[in-house]
Amino acid sequence: MVKTLVQKVKFKAAPAKLFEIYMDSRKHGAATGSTAKVGKAPGSPMEAWDGYITGKLLATVPKSLIAQTWRASDWNDSDPDSFLILHFEKTQGGSLLTMVHAGVPDDQEEALDDGWKEDYWGPWKAYLGEK
């Protein structure tokens, strides 16, 4: 069985800045404290957390939306890739990031739910000076 995670996180930074942090390999790595390689064209591979996460970019709407396939290296070979959508919208005082992570293997749900918060949103806020 697969699960869908939905998280909403407020940032003081503008949507364009958040989009850039995820899509720029150097900034992605700096914000998470690990290496990242993010392609910008649809079909381009992506890799984050020193190769622990891999996927392919499906589509982007500049400064607003990122869609990609996503999987972790410790998933079972029989687990299909999941789908990640990051939506960035302007709000009063900054942005609202909405993450939808669909097709998460049942046995990975809790770890990923915590992992996004601890390994992405918390470090992003620190990187942006928001903590």
* pLDDT per position as a tens digit, 54-106: 999 999 999 999 999 999 999 999 999 999 999 999 999 999 999 999 999 99
H/E run at residue 67:
strand 65-72
Which of these, 33, 41, 91, lies nearest to 62 by C-alpha position?
41
- Say which CATH architecture domain 2-127 belongs to: 2-Layer Sandwich (3.30)
pLDDT of amino acid 80: 95
Q: Is 23 helix (H, G, I), strand (E, B) or coil?
A: helix
- Total-model pTM: 0.95
Specify the amino acid at residue 3: K
CA dist 65 to 4, 7, 23, 34, 126, Å? 18, 15, 11, 23, 22
Q: Is the pLDDT of residue 31 over 90?
A: yes
State the Cα–Cα distance between residues 41 and 23, nearest whole angstrom: 10
Q: Is the pLDDT of residue 51 over 90?
A: yes
Which of these, 86, 112, 109, lies nearest to 99 by C-alpha position?
86
Token pair of 19, please? Answer: 């989009």
Q: Which pLDDT band holds residue 50 (cuts at 50, 70, 90)?
A: very high
